[in-house]
Amino acid sequence: MIKLAPSVLAADFSCLGEEIKKVHENGAEYLHLDVMDGMFVPNISMGPGMIASIRKVSDIVFDVHLMIQDPIRYIDDFAKAGADIITFHYEACDNHREVIEKIHSHGIRAGMSVKPYTDANLMVPFLDELELALVMTVQPGFGGQKFMLEAMPNLEKLNAAIKASGREIDLEVDGGINLENAHIVKERGANVLVAGSAVFGAKDVAATVREFLK
């Protein structure tokens, strides 16, 4: 079963409560929350305060994607803000096991991500402790970019490694996903599709969510 994770980055921040309600009611299971620090990526987005405030209006699964350097510094804050899943970048630290343990200490799910040109095999040794693996299909930092086919070998590698592990691990893709290319990632084993502009930029957001899930 495919899960859709609409990315708030492309939503209208002035009426986030309504935007979230619309996607949840139409079948989106996860809400993707992109956190950018202006260091790991050249952009700044939202912090734990904003996540805590939208936590009050929705019980959708909060899928927090940390694009921040040295993520261990902020795991406690994002867990307390209401994250259900926290994903950090392989490239952002060298204490991966510690970060995963810290996430798990809050009783929430841990995810790890690689940028398009990082070899996803580097993540394989950690699969025994992860609940989610995220393949970036654009360079992280901005919504609205073009999907990169170059990232497909990463998706294929992780799909094979997850199958071999025998564990239930979400395989998520993020960046430039739309109704036209969704089949490309689905065929390669992705079961969670992040979509920002394709969902919140659509004329009919509700219909687009339903279309994705078909």
Provide the minimum distance between the beta carbon of 38 and ligand DX5 in the complex, in angstroms, as a whole number: 13
Rounded Cα–Cα distance for residues 187 and 189 (Å): 6
Beta strands in the chain (DSSP E): 3-6, 30-36, 61-67, 85-89, 109-114, 132-136, 170-174, 192-195
Residue 114 pairs with which residues in a beta bridge?
A: 135
Provide the minimum distance between the beta carbon of 142 and Zn ion in the complex, in angstroms, as a whole number: 10
Q: Which residue is associated with the tokens 């393949």? A: 135
By CB under 6 A, residue 33 contacts ligand DX5: no
By CB under 6 A, residue 151 contacts ligand DX5: no
SS3 110: strand
112-141 binders of ligand DX5 (CB under 6 A): 138, 140-141
**48-55 vs 16-25: helix axis angle to the nearest 10?**
60
Is residue 76 flagged as an active site residue?
no
Is residue 34 flagged as an active site residue?
yes
- Within 8 A by CB and 6+ apart from 209, the residues are 4, 6, 22, 23, 26, 27, 28, 199
- Choose, by CB under 6 A, the member of 176, 185, 209, 212 that binds ligand DX5: 176
Cβ atoms of 63 and 32 within 8 Å: the answer is: yes
By CB under 6 A, residue 75 contacts ligand DX5: no
96-155 binders of Zn ion (CB under 5 A): none
By CB under 6 A, residue 144 contacts ligand DX5: yes
Say which of 37, 63, 170, 174 is annotated catalytic. Answer: 174
61-100 binders of Zn ion (CB under 5 A): 65
Residues carrying an active site annotation = 34, 174
Applying CB under 6 A, the residues found at the interface with ligand DX5 are: 7, 9-10, 32, 34, 65, 138, 140-145, 174-177, 194-198
